[in-house]
Structure 1
Amino acid sequence: MPKVTPFRAVRPTRDKVGLISSRPYHHYTLAEREARLDNNPFSFLHIVNPGYKYHKEISGPDRYELVKNRYQEFREDHIFIQDKKPNYYIYRLIDSDKQVFTGIIAATSLESYKSNLIKRHEETIAHREDDFKDYLETVGFNAEPVLLTHQDNETLSQIIKEVTKERPEYEFTTTFRDTHYLWNLDDEATLKKIQEEFNHMDHLYIADGHHRSASAYQLYEEFKKNNPKHTGEEPYNFFMSYIIPESNLKILEFNRLVKDLNGLSKEEFLIKLDNSFRIQNRKNTYYKPEEKHQFSMYLDGDFYSLHLRKLNFKIENSLSHLDAQVLYETVLHPILGIKDPRSDSRLDYAHGKKGMPFVKGQVDNGSFKVGFGMVPATVKEMKDIANEGLTMPPKSTYIEPKLRSGITIYEY
C-alpha cells in the first residue's frame, strides 16, 4: 500500500517564515515580483529568481546553478534550518474566503507512484517533465509539495485534531489575507500510527502536481540506475507531498477561450452548435451553468446557454462524462479545429476564480473570439477517471488549496 514517511524538512526560522514564503513565481506580475524583490531581502523569490541580483533575466541551466547558489546562501546564513529528527508536518491554511484546509506534509514513495498506488488523472507534457527533472537534479531541493488526497480517515482526523490544539510552530498571515499554520510532529508513537494508517489505504490520488511528481520519478530512476549501493531509503526515493482528505478539496472549473471561429461566420458557428446543444441567447444577462453538461458561452457581446442534446452524445466511460471532454468532443475539436488542447496556440484557459466576467472582458477587448464556461468537476469524477486508467484533458480542474513556496523544503 502507499508508503508515506516522515522526513527532515529544511524550513525557515520562526521569525522569518512570513517574510520568506511566497506564491509560485509565475503567479506574480512583473511589477509585483519587483516590488517584493526590492523590499524584502528574505523572500523566497530571491532564490527562484537569482538573476535579480545582477539585473538580468537568466534561464536554463545557468539559472538552475544560481538558484542552487542562492539557496545555499540562505542555508549558510541560518535563514533556513533543518529538523534534527524526521517529522510529519500538520499544515493548515485558512483562505480569504474563510475556507479551512488541513493536511499532512510528508515524503511519499516513488515506488508507490510507479506501482500506481498513487493514481494520476492528468496527462503531462514531456518537455516540462524533463525541464523540471533537470532543475531538481541541479538545485538539489524541492519547495512545493504535490497535493495528494485520500478517502476521509477518522484516525488521521483525530490525530490532527489533538495536534492542532497545541501552539503551532508557524502562524502568519499574508497580504492575500490567507493565514498559515504549521505544527511539527516528531513523537515516535504518533508517527508510527500515522504511517500505519497510510499503509492501510488502497490508494492515494494526485489532485495537483502531476508534472512535479513525474519529474521526481524521472530523477529517482536516474539516481537509482547510477547508484550501485542503492537501498531504497535515499531521499531521491521520495517526493514531498501535502496529503488532505478528499472532503477538504476545493475544485473549480477552468473556462476556455478561443481566438477565432475556425473560418466560420457567427451564424454558421451557431448552426453547427445546434447539432449538439439546445441554445438560448441570453443577450447581456450573465449566465452560469448549474448542472453537468450545461455550458455558458460568450460570443459577440451576448451570453448564451448551451444544454447538451444527450440523445446525440454517447457516454462510454467516466472520461466522456466529464464536461471538459464533452466540450472538446462536441465543439473544440469538430467545429473549431483544435486537435491538441495541450499545445494549440488558439486555445487558452482561465480558472474559475476569475469567472465568466473575465472571459467576457477577454472577448470584448478582441483577444479572443469566443469563451466557454462550465461547472467544476467533482472528486468522484477525478477518482473514477484515475481508477479507469484514463486522463483528463489539460486544465480540467483548478484545485485548492494552493500552498506557498519555501515553508517546507525537501532536499535530495
Structure 2
Amino acid sequence: MNTSGAPVRGQGLRLAPFRGLRYVPEQVGSLASVTSPPYDVVVRPDGLHHLESSDPHNIVRLILPQGGSPAERHRQAARTLTQWLTEGVLAPDPLPALYVYEQRAGDSLQRGVIGALALSPASEGVVLPHEDVMPDVVEDRADLMRTTAAHLEPLLFSYEGDGGPTGATAVIERVVERPALFATVTEDGVRHRLWAVTDPAEHAEIDSDLSLRQALIADGHHRWATYLRLQREQDAPGPWDFGLVLLVDTARHPLRVRAIHRLLHRLPVPDALRALDGLFRVRSVDGPLPLALGALAEAAAEGNAFLLAGDGRFHLVDRPDEHLLERTVREDRPAAWRALDATVLHSTLLDRVWGIPDSPDHIAYIHDTEAAIEQAERHGATAVLMHPVREETVRDLARQGVTMPRKSTSFGPKPATGLVLRSLETG
C-alpha cells in the first residue's frame, strides 16, 4: 500500500464528468424542500415523516423508500425515479460536467468537486477507508443501487492539497465567481450553491491535480463498499466502474469531525452501571448537556471515556482496568487503534462486559446527541455518548491499512442529498 500520501502521477484519483440528474425547479416547491441529509443520518421516524411531508418529491422517497419488504422498498424507489423522470421532475443535464459545490453556514465555508470517481485505484491505496462496514447495510444499499440503476447521493471524500489556489482549487476559485446553477438555503440554515464545469480544459486541470492525490473516505463507507461490490458483478467496463463522490481539499477547507453515538435498545442504564462495577471508574456529572460533554472531553484527553445517559442523568465512565483491556483488546493492531474509544467500546464493553450483539435489534448508531438521549429516555435504553477522534489519527490508521470499528466518526459538513444524482443509464 502507498502510505506516503503522494501517489505517482496518473495513479491517484481520477474524477470523470457525468450528466447529472437534477430537480427541475419549476416542478417542485423549492430545491430546499426536496433535499435530505444522507440516508444514515435520517434515523428517527418523525424525521423521515417530516421530509416526506415537506414535498411530495423529496429525495428521501428514493434513498429511504417505504414498503413491506426490502425488495419491495427498492422496487418502489425505482418506480418513483422512473415516474419523476417521465414527468420532468428530474432531468439530466445536457452535457457531462464536474460540479463545484459550496456549503456556507455563518463563518463556515466548504467547497469541493462532485464527479464520478474511478473505482479501480481503490486496491492500490489511493482511496483510504478507515471504518469497518456492516454486511447487511451493504447488501441493502447494493440492492437499492442495482434496482434503481442510480447513485442517489454523493459520498464525502477528503484529500490533502497543496494549501494554495492551484490545481483543482484554482478551478473552484474561478468557477465560484460565475453564476451558479442554483442557490438554496435548507432549513438548518446552510446555504448551498452548485456550478457545472463543462470545459474540457478545466477538467484536465482538475485531473492533473487529483492524479497526485489519495483520498480518505470521510463519509460513505457502506456506499463505497457497495460501489465496489456492484462493479465486481459486471462482465464488461461501463458506468459501474465509477462512483459518485464529493472531493474536498482539507488543506483549504478542513472538515469537522464529530462522534457517532450508540443507543443500546435492551440495556437499561442501571444494568449498564452495575456491570461496570470494579472495571471502570463511574461518576455522576452535572448537566446540562454541554457541561456534561465538557466533562467527557476532559476525561477523554486522559484516556478512554464515555458518557452514559437515559435515566435523566449523566454518568461519566473512564479509567478502565488495564488487565481488562489486556484480556479484551486484540494485540495485533497498532497502539493508536488499541487506544481508540470505539475499540474499547466494542471489544471490551459491548462484547465482554455487557454482552451485546452488534446488530440493529440491539444497537442503533445516532449522529445527533440530543436525539440519542431522547430515545434512550423514552424507551428505557442506554445512550453511550462518544468523544470525537482527531482527523490525524483517522488518516494515519487509514494509511496503515487499519480500519476502525464501524461508525467511529462523523465527518462534515456532509453534502445535502438531492442536489445532483447520477444515473447509471444516462451517463
> What is the TM-score of this pair, normalised by structure 2?
0.79
CA distance in 2, matches of 1:241, 1:121: 16
Tell me the residue number matched to 2:184.
172
Tell me the residue number matched to 1:241.
245
Q: Give the alignment of 1:220-259 within 5 angstroms.
A: 220-223=231-234, 225=235, 230=236, 232=237, 234-246=238-250, 247-258=253-264, 259=266
| Residue 271 (str. 1) matches residue 281 (str. 2) | no
Residue deviations 1:192-248, cap 9 Å, x none?
Answer: 0001111111x211111111111121111111x2xxxx3x4x211100001112343
Tell me the residue number matched to 1:21.
35
CA distance in 2, matches of 1:113, 1:187: 27
Tell me the residue number matched to 1:287.
292
Please report how far the alpha carbon of residue 29 of structure 1 lies from its aligned counterpart in structure 2 after TM superposition: 5.1
Tell me the residue number matched to 2:155.
146
CA distance in 1, matches of 2:212, 2:304: 39
Summarize the Cα distance change of 1:14–1:191 in structure 2 as closer, same or farther, 3 Å threshold: farther
**Which of 59, 67, 74 is 1:44 aligned to?**
59
Please report how far the alpha carbon of residue 308 of structure 1 lies from its aligned counterpart in structure 2 after TM superposition: 3.1
**Which of 214, 230, 238 is 1:219 aligned to?**
230
Residue deviations 1:93-131, cap 9 Å, x none?
Answer: 224x65222111011111112333211111122232223
**Which of 196, 201, 206 is 1:184 aligned to?**
196
Q: Give the alignment of 1:7-406 within 5 angstroms.
A: 7-15=18-26, 16=28, 17-24=31-38, 27=42, 30=45, 33-34=48-49, 37=52, 40-47=55-62, 57-95=67-105, 98-153=107-162, 154=164, 155=166, 156-201=168-213, 203-223=214-234, 225=235, 230=236, 232=237, 234-246=238-250, 247-258=253-264, 259-260=266-267, 266=273, 269-274=276-281, 279-282=282-285, 286-288=291-293, 289-290=296-297, 291-292=300-301, 293-298=303-308, 302-308=313-319, 316-338=334-356, 340-341=357-358, 343=359, 345-351=361-367, 353-355=368-370, 361-362=374-375, 364-365=377-378, 367-368=380-381, 370-406=382-418
Task: Please say if residues 262 and 337 of structure 1, whose CA atoms lie closer than 8 Å, have aligned partners that are also in contact.
Answer: no
Partner of 1:242: helix, strand, or coil? strand
Task: Please say if residues 14 and 170 of structure 1, whose CA atoms lie closer than 8 Å, have aligned partners that are also in contact.
Answer: no
Please report how far the alpha carbon of residue 18 of structure 1 lies from its aligned counterpart in structure 2 after TM superposition: 3.7
Partner of 2:79: helix, strand, or coil? helix
Summarize the Cα distance change of 1:67–1:311 in structure 2 as closer, same or farther, 3 Å threshold: closer
**RMSD between superposed Cα atoms in Å:** 3.1
CA distance in 2, matches of 1:261, 1:367: 6
What amino acid sits opposite 2:351 in the alignment?
A: H
CA distance in 2, matches of 1:99, 1:334: 41
What amino acid sits opposite 1:287 in the alignment?
A: A
Summarize the Cα distance change of 1:305–1:70 in structure 2 as closer, same or farther, 3 Å threshold: closer
Summarize the Cα distance change of 1:391–1:14 in structure 2 as closer, same or farther, 3 Å threshold: same
Summarize the Cα distance change of 1:169–1:252 in structure 2 as closer, same or farther, 3 Å threshold: same
Please report how far the alpha carbon of residue 47 of structure 1 lies from its aligned counterpart in structure 2 after TM superposition: 4.5
Tell me the residue number matched to 2:3.
none
Summarize the Cα distance change of 1:134–1:169 in structure 2 as closer, same or farther, 3 Å threshold: same
Please report how far the alpha carbon of residue 69 of structure 1 lies from its aligned counterpart in structure 2 after TM superposition: 2.6
Summarize the Cα distance change of 1:326–1:83 in structure 2 as closer, same or farther, 3 Å threshold: same
Please report how far the alpha carbon of residue 390 of structure 1 lies from its aligned counterpart in structure 2 after TM superposition: 1.6
CA distance in 2, matches of 1:393, 1:354: 19
Please report how far the alpha carbon of residue 385 of structure 1 lies from its aligned counterpart in structure 2 after TM superposition: 1.9
Q: Alignment identity in percent?
A: 21
Task: Please say if residues 89 and 184 of structure 1, whose CA atoms lie closer than 8 Å, have aligned partners that are also in contact.
Answer: yes
Please report how far the alpha carbon of residue 186 of structure 1 lies from its aligned counterpart in structure 2 after TM superposition: 1.1
CA distance in 1, matches of 2:16, 2:386: 38
Q: Select between 380-389 and 181-190 the one with higher mean Cα deviation.
A: 380-389
Task: Please say if residues 280 and 321 of structure 2, whose CA atoms lie closer than 8 Å, have aligned partners that are also in contact.
Answer: no
Partner of 1:272: helix, strand, or coil? coil
Task: Please say if residues 99 and 115 of structure 2, whose CA atoms lie closer than 8 Å, have aligned partners that are also in contact.
Answer: yes
Please report how far the alpha carbon of residue 49 of structure 1 lies from its aligned counterpart in structure 2 after TM superposition: 6.6
Task: Please say if residues 88 and 191 of structure 1, whose CA atoms lie closer than 8 Å, have aligned partners that are also in contact.
Answer: yes
Task: Please say if residues 294 and 374 of structure 1, whose CA atoms lie closer than 8 Å, have aligned partners that are also in contact.
Answer: no
What amino acid sits opposite 2:380 in the alignment?
A: S
Please report how far the alpha carbon of residue 407 of structure 1 lies from its aligned counterpart in structure 2 after TM superposition: 1.6
Summarize the Cα distance change of 1:103–1:271 in structure 2 as closer, same or farther, 3 Å threshold: same
Summarize the Cα distance change of 1:366–1:378 in structure 2 as closer, same or farther, 3 Å threshold: same
CA distance in 2, matches of 1:34, 1:359: 18
What amino acid sits opposite 2:134 in the alignment?
A: I
Where structure 2 has 5 or more consecutive residues not aligned to the other structure, the ranges are 1-10
CA distance in 1, matches of 2:172, 2:369: 33
Please report how far the alpha carbon of residue 364 of structure 1 lies from its aligned counterpart in structure 2 after TM superposition: 4.6
Summarize the Cα distance change of 1:106–1:363 in structure 2 as closer, same or farther, 3 Å threshold: closer
CA distance in 1, matches of 2:45, 2:271: 37
Summarize the Cα distance change of 1:126–1:372 in structure 2 as closer, same or farther, 3 Å threshold: closer
Partner of 1:407: helix, strand, or coil? coil
